[in-house]
Amino acid sequence: MYKVDNNGFYGKFGGAFIPEMMHKNIEYLQNEYLQIIQTKEFQENFRGLLRDYVGRPSPLYFSEALSNKYGGRIYLKREDLNHTGSHKINNTIGQILLAKHLGKKRIIAETGAGQHGVATATVCAKAGLECIVYMGATDVQRQQPNVEKMNFLGAKVVPVTSGNKTLKDATNEAIRDWISNPEDTHYIIGSVVGPHPYPDMVARFQSVISEEIKVQLLEKTGNENPSKVIACVGGGSNAAGAFYHFLDQKQVELIAVEAAGKGVDTGESAATTALGNTGVLHGAMTLLMQTEDGQIVEPYSVSAGLDYPGIGPLHSHLFDSNRASFINVTDNEALDAALELTNLEGIIPALESSHALAALNKIEIADEEVVILNLSGRGDKDMETYLNYFNSKNC
Ligand SMILES: *Cc1c(COP(=O)(O)O)cnc(C)c1O
């Protein structure tokens, strides 16, 4: 009911709204992706790498301190402990195996903050494939450490100087590249966005998160279903992975957390469900923030991974059908939540994940409830932001 249909739609969202020149590539993927990724050989390779290269299963950690503070029993799904520091590697591992299977020699990707770029450069180094990462020129300057990592991993980072010189412009450039190089190139999209089959394919690769949660919860509590699952949503891939095997379990409450930036009404926000409406973004019918004449509104969040003007079609459908509740969290609420987890548990979370943590303040949790919070990544990349915020707060 909440999974993709045969035409690539989730309710009225999804599909493939793409330039004529992309049809051949996309149609091929649409026809082949399920057959390829469901073979025994593919699954063995994928599972083996998730175990030995990524370090899965990621632990499910009972946070006594958060439980004492917010009620219920709160468990953190530790995607922060994965190789390269977040859930993004689950998807890039899957897609590099697909690219190899298809005999592709060249990988392209686009990246905003650089996290997906690093995860892509990592698997390309491992697979020995050429890697080109398109990145807005503004982002290249803002995200120097990740640019250096990609370069060190052997990827070529191409600064894009059109438009606002950010993620949207990098995406256009990646699409242009794919159209010019349809034969030898695979395009690795980093979230549950883009034309069908990407949202479904990425959700399936990330669904290992909820698959593991079920096994781990059963072991720890005797029940594989929690009361609530909380995850942050940029494009929506970590949330899709954490929700996936609970989508049809109506008793499991799904809570998606968006970035309000400086506040939903400030004009500097990325809270798509609060501010957006239906339109086409990156090849899919979905919810996005746009002006009356359909121009994309530049999003804002302190967290680079949530700084995206839409959400993927699965999440648009979960919102539209009320299957998931969507709440939003400001920059400052997320920053305070990051410090709280650091102080209570000695775990420094990614700024994106801190939005999910801040949601604990905004929901009711009954004593008997079991709550899963997907800790999508670690905070090393955000130390400068954390230090600046808390230094300025203290003086
Ligand atoms: C990129 C990123 C996100 C946001 O992307 P989704 O596709 O919405 O998951 C969230 N957390 C971390 C740590 C990230 O790097």
Total residues found in the chain within this entry: 395
CA distance 68 to 66: 5
Distances (CA, A) of 145 to 80, 115, 314, 357, 383: 18, 10, 32, 26, 12
Distance between Cα 167 and ligand 1 center (Å): 14
Q: What is the pLDDT of residue 265?
A: 97
Domain 57-86+207-394 carries which CATH code? 3.40.50.1100
The protein residue with its alpha carbon nearest to ligand 1, atom 14, reads 305
CB-ligand 1 contact for 234 (6 Å cutoff)? yes
Give the catalytic positions in this structure.
88, 110, 376
Distance between Cα 119 and ligand 1 center (Å): 12
CB-ligand 1 contact for 353 (6 Å cutoff)? yes
Strand partners, 285: 14, 280
CB-ligand 1 contact for 270 (6 Å cutoff)? no
The protein residue with its alpha carbon nearest to ligand 1, atom 3, reads 305
Structure tokens at 350: 């990614």
CB-ligand 1 contact for 350 (6 Å cutoff)? yes
Q: What is the pLDDT of residue 154?
A: 98
User: Which atom of ligand 1 is nearest the CA belonging to 311?
Assistant: 8
Domain regions of the chain by residue span: 17-49+88-202, 57-86+207-394
CB-ligand 1 contact for 379 (6 Å cutoff)? no
289, 292, 293, 297: CA torsion to nearest 10? -30
User: Which atom of ligand 1 is nearest the CA belonging to 350?
Assistant: 13
Structure tokens at 351: 């700024």
The set of residues, in sequence order, having a beta carbon less than 8 Å from that of 52 and lying 6+ positions away, is: none
Distance between Cα 303 and ligand 1 center (Å): 9
CA distance 101 to 307: 33
SS (H, E, C) the chain: CCCCCCCCEECCEECCCCCHHHHHHHHHHHHHHHHHHCCHHHHHHHHHHHHHHHCCCCCEEECHHHHHHHCCEEEEEEHHHCHHHECHHHHHHHHHHHHHHCCCCEEEEEECCCHHHHHHHHHHHHHCCEEEEEEEHHHHHHCHHHHHHHHHCCCEEEEECCCCCCHHHHHHHHHHHHHHCCCCEEECCCCCCCCCCHHHHHHHHHCHHHHHHHHHHHHHHCCCCCCEEEEECCCCHHHHHHHHHHCCCCCCEEEEEEEEECECCCCECCCHHHHCEEEEECCEEEEECECCCCCECCCCCCCHHHCCCECCHHHHHHHHCCCEEEEEEEHHHHHHHHHHHHHHHCCCECHHHHHHHHHHHCCCCCCCCEEEEEECEECHHHHHHHHHHHHHHHC
Structure tokens at 167: 């993620």
CA distance 327 to 273: 9
CB-ligand 1 contact for 237 (6 Å cutoff)? yes
Distance between Cα 66 and ligand 1 center (Å): 22
CA distance 238 to 80: 11
Which candidate, 299, 269, 295, places its Cα nearest to that of 113? 299
pTM exceeding the 0.95 threshold for the entire prediction:
yes
Distance between Cα 236 and ligand 1 center (Å): 7
The protein residue with its alpha carbon nearest to ligand 1, atom 1, reads 305
Q: Is the domain 17-49+88-202 a CATH 3.40.50.1100 member? A: yes
Distance between Cα 87 and ligand 1 center (Å): 7
CB-ligand 1 contact for 232 (6 Å cutoff)? yes
Structure tokens at 139: 């982002």
Pocket test for ligand 1, best of 146, 191, 273, 373 (most atoms within 8 A of CB): 191
Pocket test for ligand 1, best of 115, 210, 233, 380 (most atoms within 8 A of CB): 115
pLDDT per residue rounded down to tens, the chain (395 residues):
899 999 999 999 999 999 999 999 999 999 999 999 999 999 999 999 999 999 999 999 999 999 999 999 999 999 999 999 999 999 999 999 999 999 999 999 999 989 999 999 999 999 999 999 999 999 999 889 999 999 999 999 999 999 888 888 899 999 999 999 999 999 999 999 999 999 999 999 999 999 999 999 999 999 999 999 999 999 999 999 999 999 999 999 999 999 999 999 999 999 999 999 999 999 999 999 999 999 999 999 999 899 999 999 999 999 999 999 999 999 999 999 999 999 999 999 999 999 999 999 999 999 999 999 999 999 999 999 999 999 988 76
CA distance 30 to 186: 14
User: Which atom of ligand 1 is nearest the CA belonging to 237?
Assistant: 7
Distances (CA, A) of 51 to 72, 78, 98: 31, 14, 18
